[in-house]
A and B are shown apart, each in its own frame.
Chain A
Amino acid sequence: MRSLWKSICIYAFLTVGGLISVYPLIYMLMTALKPMTLLFEFPPRFLPSEMTLSNFRDAWVSQNFALYLLNSILVTLISFVLIFLFSSMLAFAYSRFDFKGKGFSFTILMGGLVIPSLTLLIPQFVLIRQLGMFDSRWGLIVIYTAGAIPFTTFMLKGFFDSISRDIDESVEMEGGSAWTLFASIILPLSKPAFVPATIFNALTVWEEFPWALTIINDPAKRTLPIALANFQGQYTTQWGIVFAGSLIAILPIILLFLLLQRYFIAGITAGAVKG
């Protein structure tokens, strides 16, 4: 009897929480399905009286949405390759070596974790101009990559630390180099750790707006967040289209999560977050 009550309580708690969690997305979907942008009906009506897909069509065709989607995918993918390359090597260095300046540089790197990217907008703008990366997708990629290095290094170092050092020794015995240890042992063993690192970084890169707006001028190089912002007008905004576009935009991230979620929890082992 007591355990039945316990179960009921637990499920009630989960259901209420789950509904609150998913409610805004459903609200968005309902608004996107309304024929006219009656966002401010009073009394509010949750289910649209008429449903239409015209907002989704408008969002997709009214500008080069497919191209922006492609740009976003491209920028995100390349950023991830670079993020993982740099961060895993850094994490390996911090986890397995002793070198001069190790502690100091690690403190600085972790300092990068607490700096809001917004505060660096102007100096980064000046720098990117000097490097000739203005109005190019590389200008986005390098900044996104650099911004994600501290957190990713931190996570991966935790995971690498949890891998037994006996392995290091056996590689040594067999005459393998540090690179062999890194590339052939540590990286393959750490595959699960890359899943949470991907998901935690993906959204930050995917929805970044101020920086992309600042350095991209050419519409052909735009990413999705800029395209979405353009649906809002100075005086009036077509909310149905804004929400339809936003739904299309977050779909890839949701898919990515659903695809990877099997490995997700396993990736965040206690080791990965021990700090």
Chain B
Amino acid sequence: MTNKWSKISLLLLAILLVATACGKGNEGASDPGKDSAEKQITLTFWHHYSTASPEEKTLTGVLIPKFEAENRGIKVKPVAIPWDDLHKKLQIGGSGGDLPDVARLDIIWVPEFQKRGLLQPLDERFSDFNEIAEGLLEGPLSTAKVGEHYYGLPLNTNTKVLFWNKDMLGQSGIDKAPETAEEFFTALGKIKAKYDKSWGYGEPALQGWNILPWIWSNGGDILSPDFTTADGYLNSEATIDIVTKLRAAYASGQLAGFKPGDVPVTEGHAGGSYAMMAEGPWAVAQFQSQFGDFAFEMAPFPEGSAGSVQVLGGEDLGIFSEDKQEEAWKFVKFMVSEAAQVEMGKIGQIPVNLDAMENPEIKAVDYYAPFLEQLKTAKARPPIESWPQIDGVLSDTMSSIFMTDKDIKSELDAAVTKIDGLLQIN
């Protein structure tokens, strides 16, 4: 009987041994530089390209091998983390020093991590910064600038354009994409009259990314130009005007997409549920791979009194590393170089490198034209540390406006108070 027990404990011991051995084995495997070559350095690169996507395949299959071949002694270890989880991991890691050497950051995160002192000021650290920066697009480059210094380099840029279903609009008696907001709202009514079970326009959420283009194009804003208050901007006449129109369209069933249970917007656009939507270049990739029969059309975002102002999206590369800065900088420079930018550009990541933009392979990507045109007037979301929280307030307020019949002005006033509170804390 006791024999049995000793067998169990032996088994236990064996498993523990195997476990520790495996643990060590893998540690060794993940850091091969330790004993083979003295000067081998491994850079950790956190990104949010989703696994099995063309972007991720290009990164791990083309770009990193190329970089490693060109820079003997430097290895790059890519780590994929989903977008919002990446943000959380960087926040938590920032308090304990568990950060990557380089990370691909959504442009709206840069101010936050800069404020916490986690990002290296690249223009101060590296003498050839200006030389590199000069070769990049100015708008995206500005997203990496906080105060006087640059805390990253742009990696890719994007914005949204109007996608419209030619067939549905034609059937509703509209022969071209609406050019102005006025035409847009008229079109919504006509589409509803023709297609009772569809919507004229789909908007997947009510965050700044979705709502700001409407407000900006109408001459409104969310914060003052110096980002100190929302009063007089989020609750201005221009903002109230466009929000009122959008709510009316939602209430009469002409606009949907952001409620739980709504048809997903991109799929729904291809499937005829939404006659129009505003989306980025990834929608094109999705149409081509999943809805080959769908003939999508693109046009500039409808113009308001202040023009056609869309929101600027994209990612920057930031360096967190304290001790491998030179190597990290080499990798960042490689990622924004013409060759790397062309590779990513071919699969839908709009380049920021000026030479890459002129490259014939990029010129050949026919669907870039409307996006490049829209980018000329695209505007960045406020580059302030508390933006993610302000975005939450904005989204809550818009939901409350759309889904209830509360007074728009007083809802926006309440949001102003909350946002001003957030601005004061930080």
Determine direct contact between A and B, CB below 8 Å. yes
Q: Residues on A close to B: CB < 8 A?
A: 36-42, 58-59, 62-63, 74, 77-78, 81, 85, 125, 129, 134-138, 180, 183-185, 187-188, 213-214, 217-221, 227, 229-238, 241
Chain B hits for A187, CB < 8 A: 5
Contact of B83 with A by CB under 8 A: yes
Would B5 and A81 count as touching, CB distance under 8 A? no
Would A77 and B15 count as touching, CB distance under 8 A? yes
Known: A184-B1, A230-B51, A241-B52. Contact between A214 and B89, CB under 8 A? yes
Would A40 and B271 count as touching, CB distance under 8 A? yes
Would B282 and A238 count as touching, CB distance under 8 A? no
Chain A hits for B2, CB < 8 A: 180, 183-184
Q: Of the candidates A40, A184, A230, which one forms a contact with B4 in the assembled complex, judged by CB atoms under 8 Å apart?
A: A184
Chain A hits for B16, CB < 8 A: 78, 81
Complex CA–CA separation, A241 to B51 (angstroms): 10
Chain B hits for A241, CB < 8 A: 52
Contact of B295 with A by CB under 8 A: no
Main secondary structure of the interface of B (DSSP, over half): helix
Would A219 and B12 count as touching, CB distance under 8 A? no
Complex CA–CA separation, A231 to B51 (angstroms): 5
Would B26 and A220 count as touching, CB distance under 8 A? yes
Q: Which residue of B lies closest to A136 (CB)?
A: B23
Chain B hits for A38, CB < 8 A: 290
> Shortest CB–CB separation between residue A184 and chain B, in angstroms?
4
Q: Of the candidates A214, A219, A230, A236, which one forms a contact with B82 in the assembled complex, judged by CB atoms under 8 Å apart?
A: A230
Chain A hits for B48, CB < 8 A: 234
Q: Of the candidates B100, B280, B289, which one forms a contact with A235 in the assembled complex, judged by CB atoms under 8 Å apart?
A: B280
Complex CA–CA separation, A5 to B86 (angstroms): 59
List B1-29 residues whose CB lies under 8 Å from chain A.
Answer: 1-2, 4-5, 12, 15-16, 19, 22-23, 26, 29
Q: Annotate B77-112 by CB proximity to A: 1 below 8 A, 0 otherwise.
A: 101111101001100110010101000000000000
* Interface pairs (21), CB distance under 8 Å: A40-B264, A40-B267, A59-B52, A62-B51, A78-B19, A81-B12, A134-B96, A137-B19, A218-B79, A220-B29, A220-B30, A227-B51, A229-B85, A230-B50, A231-B50, A233-B282, A234-B48, A234-B50, A236-B266, A236-B285, A238-B50
Complex CA–CA separation, A222 to B79 (angstroms): 11
Interface size classification for chain B:
35 or more
Would B96 and A129 count as touching, CB distance under 8 A? yes
Q: Which residue of A lies closest to B77 (CB)?
A: A219
List B230-285 residues whose CB lies under 8 Å from chain A.
Answer: 263-264, 266-268, 271, 273, 279-280, 282-283, 285
Complex CA–CA separation, A85 to B15 (angstroms): 14
Chain A hits for B96, CB < 8 A: 125, 129, 134
Q: Of the candidates A77, A78, A136, A232, which one forms a contact with B50 in the assembled complex, judged by CB atoms under 8 Å apart?
A: A232
Q: Which residue of B lies closest to A35 (CB)?
A: B290
> Shortest CB–CB separation between residue B31 and chain A, in angstroms?
9
Complex CA–CA separation, A184 to B268 (angstroms): 64
Chain B hits for A221, CB < 8 A: 26
Contact of B53 with A by CB under 8 A: yes
Would B5 and A235 count as touching, CB distance under 8 A? no
Q: Residues on B close to A: CB < 8 A?
A: 1-2, 4-5, 12, 15-16, 19, 22-23, 26, 29-30, 44, 48-53, 56-57, 77, 79-83, 85, 88-89, 92-93, 96, 98, 100, 263-264, 266-268, 271, 273, 279-280, 282-283, 285-286, 289-290
Chain B hits for A229, CB < 8 A: 82, 85
Would A135 and B282 count as touching, CB distance under 8 A? no
Q: Which residue of A lies closest to B285 (CB)?
A: A236
Complex CA–CA separation, A214 to B22 (angstroms): 21
13 further A-B contacts with Cβ under 8 Å, apart from A62-B57, A125-B92, A217-B44, are A36-B289, A40-B267, A42-B263, A137-B23, A184-B1, A187-B5, A217-B98, A217-B100, A229-B85, A230-B82, A232-B50, A233-B49, A236-B266
Q: Which residue of A lies closest to B204 (CB)?
A: A235
Chain B hits for A231, CB < 8 A: 50-52
Q: Which residue of A lies closest to B12 (CB)?
A: A81
Complex CA–CA separation, A269 to B26 (angstroms): 42
> Shortest CB–CB separation between residue A141 and chain B, in angstroms?
8
Complex CA–CA separation, A234 to B16 (angstroms): 39
Q: Which residue of B lies closest to A41 (CB)?
A: B271
> Shortest CB–CB separation between residue B205 and chain A, in angstroms?
11
Complex CA–CA separation, A63 to B59 (angstroms): 13
Complex CA–CA separation, A184 to B1 (angstroms): 5
Would B50 and A135 count as touching, CB distance under 8 A? no
Chain B hits for A183, CB < 8 A: 1-2, 4-5
Complex CA–CA separation, A234 to B109 (angstroms): 15
Complex CA–CA separation, A42 to B263 (angstroms): 10
Complex CA–CA separation, A235 to B279 (angstroms): 10
Would A74 and B22 count as touching, CB distance under 8 A? yes
Complex CA–CA separation, A59 to B51 (angstroms): 9
Would B51 and A63 count as touching, CB distance under 8 A? yes
Chain B hits for A180, CB < 8 A: 1-2
Q: Which residue of B lies closest to A36 (CB)?
A: B290
Complex CA–CA separation, A40 to B291 (angstroms): 11
> Shortest CB–CB separation between residue B7 and chain A, in angstroms?
11
Chain B hits for A63, CB < 8 A: 51-52, 80
Complex CA–CA separation, A63 to B49 (angstroms): 13
Residue among B82, B100, B282 with max Cβ neighbours from chain A (10 Å): B82
Complex CA–CA separation, A59 to B50 (angstroms): 12
> Shortest CB–CB separation between residue B304 and chain A, in angstroms?
25
